[in-house]
Amino acid sequence: MGTPESKGTCPNCYKTRGQVWEVCTNDVCRRKGYHLIPDYHLRKIQNDPKSKDVMVGQVLDKRYLLVRKIGSGGMGNVFIALQKPFNREVAIKLKVVSGLDITVQLRTRFEREAMVLSRLNHPNIVKLLDYGIQYVSLYEAEVPFMVLEYVDGGIELGQFFKQLRKTHRQISRDTLLHIFDQVLDALASAHAMGLVHRDIKPANIMLKKVKGNPFFVKLLDFGLVKVVGGAVESNEDLTRGLAVGTPQYMAPEQVQYGTKIDHRADLYSVGTILFEILCGTRPFPGKEAVEMLKKKMNPRYDPLELPQAKALPASIRKFLKKAMAPKVKARFSSAEEFKEALRSAVMGTKVTVKGLVTTDISTTKSEKVYDSSTLIRAGDAGGLKSLTGYSGHNRRGSALILPGLIVLGAVIAAGLILRYNSRDAHHDEQHTLMLKTVVKPKTPKPLPRPADVRPRVVSRRMEMNLPPVLANHVESKPSGAAHHTDIHTKRHVKPRRKRKRMKKNGWKFLP
């Protein structure tokens, strides 16, 4: 009996069970070359249908078992695979053209990406582990594949900020700069070798928590890399005449035919990502790629005129204007210059309403100044929101108020000392004065009775000034009775109690 990780199921028929790596005993599955995969990955496939693919369960080069699909793009699909003999998880990218043999141009581009990754040696760039070509019977074609470093537990940059907006979690401003410092360092390493990525977007920037760095960056997908000189020897442009890239983030020169493309196209893409994070909206909104590209190519359209961008301070607006300049010569000349400009623009700011919206620290007297430890959280509109209060006003106002507070404190202290010394000497006099000032409350005079109101009079025989019926009722009682019935309450009461009650109610008795 093996461990739980060693038990598997066929991903094609879902019936055969056994040890992982074993060939499925079903005749159809055996002819197609399906192997058993771990149950853990099979459950992931059942929960996420997008991770299902006909290549899951296939073995490449007798060493790599494809267990789950994790991504797809123009240059191929990406799978998680188990590598023999230790079942280490790796990422395998393979290019498949369904029903047709892969063309020479596509294979050359795929090999170009593998060659570029093999030359790049930077901790923030995904590493190439292996490369090969495999004949796949399902497609009846030879399929090239790359074995890459698998970023286990990683999350895409776009998904990271999306989760922040949903859960309202907080990150510091230094963390934001730390993330993009790593992105720009990775691009600087590639640019130094004469390589242009041409597909910088949030989906190609992975964040992973490692010891000592909870936001470790990995730059992915060099499938559209362009060689403009340097260590990689190639003068052939395999994408001439094609607009390659992601419409929302690609530079304008990537759309124009015959325009020279260099490393500043990648810096334009980074500026677009920062615009989206800082403002909480995309700079070129649109549902279709054509609509986005029209705005991008229109010289009259300015993304900084959007309402979210107008709320930005002058320093951030100036930075984004240069980072996203339509003309190549107007942008930052290098990734190092871009990084320094970003730090200068953001560190002198605070966080306010939507997005990482900032305000210059050089405020007026009525504005609030925030310290550098300002925390930000995701807002409802797609950006980040401030959680801190102000720390004070400007220094000039504080310098004028401080001497006045000192003088006022000295005067109060002197008054308290004089009062304490003279308190015992004048205790009796003060007590007498206090007694004299006490005013006794005056007894209110009774209101005068109106002249036309006659008092109610009865005799000792209880002859009350009442209607005849009630008078006769009272007279009918024997004079010597110990008690009688009260006509108001219908209760038996004694005569003396009734006299007291009647006196209280205003009755007068004749002698």
Residues noted as catalytic: 199
Backbone angles phi, psi at 265, to 5 degrees: -65, -35
Please report the beta strands in 300-423, taking only residues with DSSP state E, as ranges in sequence order. Answer: 375-378, 384-386
Beta bridge partners of 38: 8
Using DSSP, state whether 404 is helix, strand or coil: helix
Q: d(Cα 368, Cα 394) in Å, to the nearest integer?
A: 9
Q: d(Cα 261, Cα 239) in Å, to the nearest integer?
A: 12
Could you say which DSSP state residue 121 is in?
-
Q: What are the CA-CA distances from residue 414 to residues 3, 401, 493 (Å)?
A: 84, 21, 74
- Is residue 308 within 8 A of residue 354, CB to CB? The reply is yes
Alpha helices, DSSP H only, in 348-426? 395-422
Q: d(Cα 354, Cα 359) in Å, to the nearest integer?
A: 12
Alpha helices, DSSP H only, in 86-172? 104-119, 157-167
State whether the Cα torsion 188-172-306-248 is positive or negative.
positive
- Is residue 47 within 8 A of residue 74, CB to CB? The reply is no
State whether the Cα torsion 174-179-183-186 is positive or negative.
positive
- Is residue 496 within 8 A of residue 503, CB to CB? The reply is no
